[in-house]
Amino acid sequence: MTPFILLLCVTLAAIPPCTDPEAARSAFAAALQQAAQRELAKARALYIRAHAVCPRIATAFNLASTHQLLGKPVGAHDLLEALLDQDFGPLSERQRQAVQALRQSTSSERAQVDLHVPTQEPHVFLLDDQVRSSTSARSRLWLNPGSHRLRIESPDGRSQQTSVQLSAGQRTVVEHVLPPRPGTLRVVASAGAQALEIVGVTKGTG
């Protein structure tokens, strides 16, 4: 009998290069000191600096933890997803458990906004004055708790904006309807002076 041989092809994800290991080590060590002193904003800036030049598991996890402590669960959750996808290298079982636990926590802290735009017209969506995308009729947004501005704009300048105040874990629906295009009313007087009155518009004669 001819033996059956199973060949397994395993593709390992490439770990991002470390372009400046010394700068990363220095920034990481400084971030740990700032975190120990509860200077979380400074610690986050240093973790971001370290992660930019040398994206590694410990840096990404500490950065995600700091994001969460600063009330930024969306950024934390994105990093944790990348960690579970092994974008920064393979995780040990202990590391995986820690990442999964933190991801579950940050997932429940994100606010959810279901954006409805009932129009077929082209439009652009802006979140906090930053262009996000050309939205479809329905979009789901994951946002950090706090105040946000949601705005849609059409190419001809029409727009609608809504401000929302979101708490951790809140879910809400926002519907944006573009204002109608301005129309033109043409009146032709057949004879003599004619009085014209349109509700809400100053009277005129023609």
pTM: 0.76
Q: What are the tokens at 125?
A: 């969506």
pLDDT, tens digit, 9 for 90 and up, residues 141-174: 999 999 999 998 888 888 889 999 999 999 999 9
CA separation for the pair 174, 162 (Å, rounded): 8
pLDDT of residue 11: 40
User: In this structure, what token pair is assigned to residue 11?
Assistant: 């593709």
Residue-wise pLDDT for 100-110, tens only, equals 999 999 999 99
Q: How far apart are CA 117 and CA 197, in angstroms?
A: 35
Tokens, residue 55: 């994206």
Q: Encode pLDDT of 2-59 as tens digits.
A: 333 333 333 445 678 899 999 999 999 999 999 999 999 999 999 999 999 999 999 9
Q: State which H helix or E strand residue 24 sits in.
A: helix 21-36
Compute the chain's Rg from CA coordinates.
27
C-alpha 116/C-alpha 20 separation (Å) is 45
